[in-house]
Amino acid sequence: MLKQLNIEQIDQLQSYIEERRVVMNPALIGRVSAILEDVRMHGDEAVLRYTKQFDGMELNKLRVSSEELNAQADLCTPEFRRSMQQAKENILFYHQAQISKGYRLEKEMGIYLGQRVLPLDSVGIYVPGGSAQYPSSVLMNALPARLAGVKRIVMLTPPSKEGSIHPNIALAAKLVGIDEVYKVGGAQGIAALAYGTQSIAKVDKIVGPGNVYVACAKKLVFGDVDIDMIAGPSEILVIGDEGANPKWIAADLLSQAEHDPQASAVLLAVSQNMVDAVKQELQKQTRCLPRQKIIHESLENYGLALVCESLQQCVDISNQIAPEHLELMVDKPEELLPLVRHAGSVFLGYATCESVGDYFGGTNHVLPTGGTARFFNPLGVDSFVKKSSYLHYSIEALQAYGDSIITLAEAEQLQAHANAVKARCKT
């Protein structure tokens, strides 16, 4: 169930990863554009109409009342509540180190300049509906925004079959201090966040995962608002040395494969024995898992193993793939880490399974997928601030350097730019 490539076939490995990207065909773009435009024009009326059409739910208001939020949250177990609280503390601990303050520099003749770091005014978090619910994502999205200083954080999630929101999601919202929650999903939800409706004020940035309609809508509204990223299906790459336990490696590959049939699990080992042992374990462990069907599909399509000549070669190949999650299941992970150039999040050593980071360790689980770890960042405090620069020249400084500025402006044939300096220098 884990396809094995040899070292000459690593090009295939790369295309395996890339072909999983979210593809937006013109038909989809057309459909989603129409929804965006409709909501932009008709506001709540359009949102309620699409909610009836797509979610089969006839609502008369979109906002979740605080009574409803409290009542739903109260349905959670004490264990869940306690675990979420611990996770919250760990996430705050990790992310608080990302808070930055800007800087100010001084130069000759009263020149000074610098950068301010300011929180976004408002952020919308999209929480997908459907069979599974991911309260952990609420923490991962909202807590960095809180640390950044964002005042208004809004949550959107499609109504469940009962017309309410899931208890665990309600608890997560309360834990992060969100009280503005709407029962809206899909492209219509993204449109409401981007353009505003009568009952939902527009936001500055939209974050959170979603299906292909949500992803396409986010791509299309990008520029009108900011977005986090276009999240594709999840992936793990495990590098295992001779000391790694094949049982643990298999368990970790399965934890990725169970996400969805497009999820990818890749093993890079330094011996054929290890690959064989992991394969056996995969067979064995899968039998006991509720999501067997998804796992089989995922491993058939995107499960890969490769025997490399050295750990160095394993890391080189990993750098080509730029995985979302990278586990270094090796004796001395600290020695390999500096060689890792492209990976969303790295899990060090035998004990650190990806699920520690997914839920609890404190690092963010909103990570770049599909090879985009080459250039995209994990979600963090930085994602919820914007920078603004400032510059001060005294009149003496302007007169001292005016000729250079005029030379540069005139070289670009922008005479009025030059004149702004000249007007001040002829006094």
Q: How far apart are CA 154 and CA 225, in angstroms?
A: 14
Does 365 count as an annotated binding residue?
no
Q: How far apart are CA 346 and CA 363, in angstroms?
A: 10
Does 412 count as an annotated binding residue?
yes
Secondary structure letter of residue 381 according to DSSP: G
Q: Concatenated DSSP letters for 56-119?
A: ----S--BPPHHHHHHHHTTS-HHHHHHHHHHHHHHHHHHHTT----EEEE-GGG-EEEEEEEE
Kindly tell me which of 48 and 281 has the beta carbon lying closer to a second copy. Answer: 281
Q: What amino acid positions are annotated as catalytic residues? A: 324-325
Which contacts (CB < 8 Å, 24+ apart) does range 338-342 have? 339/312, 339/315, 340/315, 342/318, 342/373, 342/374
> Quick count: other Cβ atoms within 10 Å of Cβ 408?
12
Kindly tell me which of 60 and 389 has the beta carbon lying closer to a second copy. Answer: 389
**How far apart, in Å, are the Cα atoms of 353 and each of 62, 88, 296, 329, 335?**
39, 19, 21, 9, 18
Kindly tell me which of 224 and 335 has the beta carbon lying closer to a second copy. Answer: 224
Q: How far apart are CA 100 and CA 77, in angstroms?
A: 37
Does 382 count as an annotated binding residue?
no
Provide the CB-side half-sphere exposure for 60 (13 A, CA). 0
What's the min distance (Å) between Cβ of 138 and a second copy? 11
Does 211 count as an annotated binding residue?
yes
**How far apart, in Å, are the Cα atoms of 1 and each of 278, 291, 302, 391?**
11, 15, 10, 61
The number of helices, as runs of H, and strands, as runs of E, in the chain is 17, 14
Under 8 Å between Cβ of 336 and 198: no
Q: How far apart are CA 395 and CA 110, in angstroms?
A: 9
What's the min distance (Å) between Cβ of 167 and a second copy? 10
Kindly tell me which of 13 and 250 has the beta carbon lying closer to a second copy. Answer: 250
What's the min distance (Å) between Cβ of 197 and a second copy? 17
Does 403 count as an annotated binding residue?
no
What's the min distance (Å) between Cβ of 368 and a second copy? 8
Q: Distance between terminal CA atoms of the chain?
A: 81
What's the min distance (Å) between Cβ of 3 and a second copy? 19
Q: How far apart are CA 276 and CA 125, in angstroms?
A: 43
CB burial class (10 A; 0-12, 13-18, 19+) of residue 14? middle
What's the min distance (Å) between Cβ of 59 and a second copy? 26
What's the min distance (Å) between Cβ of 29 and a second copy? 7
Kindly tell me which of 110 and 163 has the beta carbon lying closer to a second copy. Answer: 110
Q: Where are the alpha helices (DSSP H) in 309-414?
A: 311-321, 333-336, 354-359, 395-411
Kindly tell me which of 62 and 409 has the beta carbon lying closer to a second copy. Answer: 409
> Which residue ranges are tagged as binding site for Zn(2+)?
256, 259, 358, 417
